[in-house]
């Protein structure tokens, strides 16, 4: 995608024009950014106490997956694990455009971070990430996971 930037000190009407062939996730992300609706996920390092740690702004692109354990939500990135104050359902609504899909009651995974999707001998299907971790894709979510992939392919 080509990016043109024009600086005009006299311009009083700042604007962004997007020319696109189809409305795909990356275009929607640009629109979110322009409209200041880009999802902001603030997290504290999981190994620190709830109120002590400094809040860090997380980029959805850096997150491998979200895990809901004991009513707490954690985001797993290359740099560590962060505790989020959002709910899993709100993250699902907010991040579907960024490649996040629900694969079990407690997990949202980022399909752009998946290294391989492979079933085990016991027939459980796992999504492996490049950080070496893997998440099981629950059978109940298999259909919606497949529909999500089809939709993302159509949009991309």
Partner 1 sequence: MLDRLKQYIVEVCCVYALLSVAGAVINQIWGYETNNINVIVMFVLCLIGTFVLYLHKLFDRFSPLFMIIVQYLAACGLSALFIWIMSLFFGPVSAYNWFEFWRSFTIPYVILAALYYWRVFSEAKKQDKLIREIQDRSRESI
- Token pair belonging to 24: 């795909």
CB closer to partner 1, 90 vs 116? 116
CB closer to partner 1, 25 vs 53? 25
Q: Hey, how many other C-beta atoms are within 10 angstroms of the C-beta on 102?
A: 22
Least Å distance, CB 3 to partner 1, is 10
Least Å distance, CB 123 to partner 1, is 4
Least Å distance, CB 114 to partner 1, is 5
CB closer to partner 1, 80 vs 119? 119
CB closer to partner 1, 56 vs 136? 136
CB closer to partner 1, 82 vs 98? 98
Least Å distance, CB 10 to partner 1, is 32
Q: How far is CA 38 from CA 102, 119, 121, 140, in A?
A: 20, 34, 40, 30
Helix segments in 38-126, DSSP class H:
88-95
DSSP secondary structure letter of residue 13: S
Least Å distance, CB 42 to partner 1, is 25
- DSSP string over 4-69: -----TT-SS-------SS--HHHHHHHHHHTT----EEEEETTS-TTTSPPEEEPGGGEEEEEEE
Which residues lie near partner 1 (CB under 8 A)? Answer: 1, 24-26, 99, 111-112, 114, 116-125, 138-140, 142, 145-146, 149-150, 152-153, 156
């Amino acid at each position: 995608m080509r990016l043109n930037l024009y600086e005009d000190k006299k311009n009083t009407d700042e604007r962004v024009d997007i020319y696109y062939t189809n409305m795909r996730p990356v275009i929607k992300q640009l629109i979110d950014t322009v409209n200041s609706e880009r999802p902001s996920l603030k997290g504290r390092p999981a190994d620190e106490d709830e109120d002590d740690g400094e809040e860090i702004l997380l980029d959805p692109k850096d997150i491998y997956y979200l895990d809901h354990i004991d009513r707490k939500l954690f985001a797993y990135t290359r740099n560590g694990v962060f505790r989020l104050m959002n709910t899993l359902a709100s993250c699902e609504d907010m991040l579907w455009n960024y490649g996040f899909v629900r694969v079990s009651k407690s997990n949202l995974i980022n399909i752009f971070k998946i290294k391989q999707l492979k079933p085990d001998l016991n027939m459980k299907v796992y999504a492996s990430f490049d950080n070496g971790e893997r998440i099981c894709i629950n059978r109940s979510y298999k259909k919606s996971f497949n529909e999500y992939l089809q939709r993302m392919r159509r949009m991309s």
